[in-house]
């Protein structure tokens, strides 16, 4: 059997530096604006999506890659004799995993495995990098598949949003809820549980103070987390110094081997808007 290759989709929100370091290949999801489809992170950037959303007072539609693109993405790995594990966005949020399965069947790619991450953003990214670590240690595709699948519920993925306007535009919360949150200065904490997003807490006041409170409240969980890595993932921020403050705090815990900062891509930012920050990690 050939090399075990880990692949993912653009909602993993891993930086190009991390993708290069671990030799991870990414299939982009699609962002649809003005009836035109653009490949996430390739043909359109986060800033373009947020500007379009504000100009049009709506959220772009997002969709999985089409079957033809998925097949073309997988074919070179099959031809190289590689065994491939794809780790994708939660099946409760997207049909991407199913499209990849269909592409594998169409190619009769026997050595292709699909893992539903039951997550989004670097909640996927954590699983991708753990899989890459295991592949580098010489683990078989089946061993990696079992390990990642078995630990999906150990991923802690949450983030705080400054505004619910973008989630409202995308139909993920009502306009009334968004207006109330704005009026009452509520900053919701969104957590991913079993593949679905839900509000786990509400902070009151300004965004910066809410973020600091959110991170400090997690201290016990952070100190009990898997020490390999922790992610700070955020959309465009009004106050970039806040990200540095959170990074310094996480480093001060002296618990994690790596404190990694990444930017939210088009799909995630289109729903959460600017000023959205999350801290994501594996619990032990």
- CATH number, domain containing residue 161: 3.30.1180.10
- Out of 115, 150, 185, pick the residue that ends a domain: 150
Average confidence (pLDDT) per 10 residues, the chain, 284 residues: 90 97 97 94 94 88 93 97 97 95 97 97 98 97 97 96 67 45 69 86 90 97 98 96 98 98 92 92 95
Is 130 inside any structural domain?
A: yes
For residue 61, what pLDDT is reported?
87
Residues 197 and 115 occupy one common structural domain: no
DSSP string over 44-93: B-HHHHHHHHHHHTS--EEEPPPHHHHHHHHHHHHHTT-EEEEEES-TTT
Residues 224 and 166 occupy one common structural domain: yes
Q: Residue 121: which of 284, 283, 278 has the closest Cα?
A: 278
Is 257 inside any structural domain?
A: yes
For residue 171, what pLDDT is reported?
54
Residues 125 and 180 occupy one common structural domain: no
Residues 76 and 121 occupy one common structural domain: yes
- Say how far apart CA 53 and CA 113 lie, in whole Å: 36
Share of the chain above pLDDT 70, in %: 92
For residue 200, what pLDDT is reported?
82
Residues 122 and 135 occupy one common structural domain: yes
For residue 178, what pLDDT is reported?
41
Is 105 inside any structural domain?
A: yes
For residue 123, what pLDDT is reported?
98
Residues 17 and 118 occupy one common structural domain: yes
Q: Are 94 and 200 in contact (CB under 8 A)?
A: no
For residue 188, what pLDDT is reported?
85
- Out of 132, 150, 168, pick the residue that ends a domain: 150
- Out of 133, 150, 167, pick the residue that ends a domain: 150
For residue 168, what pLDDT is reported?
55
Is 58 inside any structural domain?
A: no
For residue 270, what pLDDT is reported?
85
- Say how far apart CA 241 and CA 255 lie, in whole Å: 22
| 11-69 residue pLDDT tens | 999 999 999 999 999 999 999 999 999 999 999 999 999 999 889 988 888 899 999 99
Q: Which domain holds residue 185?
A: 154-282
Residues 74 and 158 occupy one common structural domain: no
| Long-range Cβ pairs for the range 17-24 (8 Å, 24+) | 18/125, 18/129, 18/260, 18/262, 22/128, 22/129, 22/132, 23/132, 24/128, 24/132
């Amino acid at each position: 059997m050939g090399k075990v290759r880990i692949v993912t989709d653009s909602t993993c929100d891993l930086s190009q530096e991390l993708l290069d370091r671990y030799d991870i290949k990414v299939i982009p999801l699609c962002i649809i604006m003005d009836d035109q489809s653009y490949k996430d992170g390739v043909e359109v950037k986060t800033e373009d999506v947020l500007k379009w959303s504000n100009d049009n007072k709506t959220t772009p539609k997002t969709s999985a890659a089409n079957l033809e693109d998925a097949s073309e993405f997988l074919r070179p790995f099959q031809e190289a004799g590689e065994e491939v594990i794809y780790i994708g966005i939660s099946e409760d949020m997207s049909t991407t995993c199913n499209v990849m399965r269909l592409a594998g069947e169409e190619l009769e790619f026997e050595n292709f495995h699909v893992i539903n991450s039951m997550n989004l953003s670097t909640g996927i990214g954590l699983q991708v990098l753990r899989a890459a670590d295991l592949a580098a240690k010489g683990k078989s595709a089946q061993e990696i598949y079992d390990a990642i699948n078995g630990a999906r519920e150990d991923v802690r993925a949450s983030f705080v949003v400054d505004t619910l306007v973008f989630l409202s535009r995308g139909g993920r919360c009502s306009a009334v809820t968004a207006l109330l949150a704005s009026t009452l200065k509520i900053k919701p904490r969104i957590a991913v549980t079993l593949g679905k997003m839900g509000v786990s807490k509400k902070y009151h006041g300004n965004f910066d103070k809410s973020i600091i409170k959110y991170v400090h409240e997690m201290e016990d969980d952070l100190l009990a987390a898997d020490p390999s890595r922790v992610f700070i993932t955020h959309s465009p921020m009004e106050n970039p110094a806040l990200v540095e403050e959170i990074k310094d705090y996480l480093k001060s815990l002296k618990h994690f081997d790596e404190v990694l900062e990444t930017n939210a891509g088009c799909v995630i930012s289109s729903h959460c808007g600017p000023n959205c920050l999350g801290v994501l990690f594996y619990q032990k």
